[in-house]
């Protein structure tokens, strides 16, 4: 198997390329190899991914694509086509794989990271994407550090398989002669202990992950009786008087509060005589007489009289504007 150079996390690595069978299920075969160590579980991986897409169809509808590049119209149409072994998997299925399996899958194209799926806290698994984007092929990458471990693991699996075959033959012989004597019963108990299957590692999905998070949250609340945050962090700023402009209360006398009051405009500009606050930046009104504003014209009648309380309808006018 050949090696390729990849730029991963700012470092140059040389993982080994594991060729994947190109029968239309190369994505699922590559995922099966990275998850289970063999390509033979590709159909099982495909079923889990397709089932998850169908269960959450409204979310993944726009991501699904058929052979022509169009979205599938219904979940039934998607399931009927994608469950076939020769149907290609795409971005939708790759994204879902990162949701239901406890790994961080990364796809490299021409030695550069193309896309990824899954949590950054999980173990990283590398895939290789070749050819063009519309009709490409997936292979798997095997990191150099784990190459020797994988070979030893394969040898262990072969030994376990031979051991299970021997144990099953012993068990069949003892079952056929179970009524012979007490010694045969002893042999049977020994053989049954030999063929006792090893307990497999639990398979994690998005549903079991949700149960785990719920369980740990409950445990955290029991152990941490006092919360670090006394209130919702998104509302904390608006409950502060300085930042409470979006929650203005007319019953509060802000003018008499030194925390938020700006004071009265009693200072005049030396050039344009505009009223200013005490701490207001200089020259903001007329830019030190560089800006010359025209004098305001007197309002036409009867608007002038209505505004300046010279008209009998002044009060009614001011209440309605």
What CATH number corresponds to the domain at position 35?
3.90.70.80
Asked whether residue 170 is assigned to any structural domain, the reply reads no
Rg, the chain, Cα only: 37
Name the residue with higher pLDDT: 6 or 46.
46
Same domain, residue pair 53 and 124: yes
Average pLDDT, the chain: 76
Alpha carbon distance 40, 36 (integer Å): 9
Mean pLDDT over 146-160 rounds to 52
**Which domain, by its residues, includes 317?**
291-321
Place of tokens 């550069």: 112
Asked whether residue 97 is assigned to any structural domain, the reply reads yes
Residues 191-215: b if buried by 16+ CB within 10 A, e if exposed: beeeeeeeeeeeeebeeeeeeeeee
pLDDT of residue 174: 46
Same domain, residue pair 59 and 112: yes
Asked whether residue 101 is assigned to any structural domain, the reply reads yes
Asked whether residue 47 is assigned to any structural domain, the reply reads yes
Q: How many domains does the chain have?
A: 3
CB-CB contact of 86 with 97 (8 Å): no
Q: Where are the beta strands (DSSP E) in the chain?
A: 6-8, 11-13, 16-18, 103-109, 112-117, 123-130, 137-142, 267-268, 275-276
Alpha carbon distance 13, 143 (integer Å): 8
Asked whether residue 128 is assigned to any structural domain, the reply reads yes
Note the pLDDT tens digit of each residue in 279-303. Answer: 777 777 777 666 666 777 888 888 8
């Amino acid at each position: 198997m050949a090696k390729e150079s990849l730029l991963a996390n700012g470092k140059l690595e040389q993982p080994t390329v594991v060729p994947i069978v190109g029968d239309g299920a190369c994505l699922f075969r590559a995922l099966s190899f990275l998850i289970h160590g063999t390509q033979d579980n590709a159909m099982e991986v495909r079923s889990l991914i397709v089932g998850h897409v169908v269960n959450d169809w409204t979310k993944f509808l726009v991501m699904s694509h058929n052979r022509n590049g169009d979205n599938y119209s219904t979940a039934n149409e998607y399931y009927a086509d994608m469950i076939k072994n020769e149907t290609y998997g795409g971005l939708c299925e790759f994204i879902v794989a990162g949701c239901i399996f406890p790994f961080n899958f990364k796809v490299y194209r021409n030695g550069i990271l193309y896309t990824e799926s899954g949590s950054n806290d999980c173990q990283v698994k590398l895939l290789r994407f070749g050819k063009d984007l519309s009709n490409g092929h997936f292979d798997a990458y095997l990191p150099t550090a784990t190459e020797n471990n994988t070979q030893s693991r394969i040898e262990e699996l072969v030994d376990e398989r031979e051991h299970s075959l021997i144990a099953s033959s012993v068990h069949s012989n003892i079952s056929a002669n179970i009524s012979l004597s007490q010694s045969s019963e002893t042999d049977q108990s020994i053989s049954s202990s030999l063929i006792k299957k090893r307990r497999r590692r639990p398979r994690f999905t998005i549903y079991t992950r949700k149960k785990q998070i719920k369980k740990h949250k409950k445990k955290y609340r029991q152990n941490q009786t006092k919360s670090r945050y006394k209130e919702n962090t998104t509302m904390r700023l608006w409950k502060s008087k300085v930042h409470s402009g979006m929650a203005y209360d007319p019953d509060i006398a802000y003018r008499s509060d030194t925390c938020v009051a700006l004071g009265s405009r009693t200072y005049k500009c030396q050039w344009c005589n505009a009223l200013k606050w005490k701490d207001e930046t200089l020259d903001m009104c007329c830019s030190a007489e560089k800006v010359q504003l025209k004098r305001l014209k007197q309002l036409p009648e009867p608007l002038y009289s209505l505004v300046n309380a010279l008209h009998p309808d002044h009060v009614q006018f001011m209440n309605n504007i």
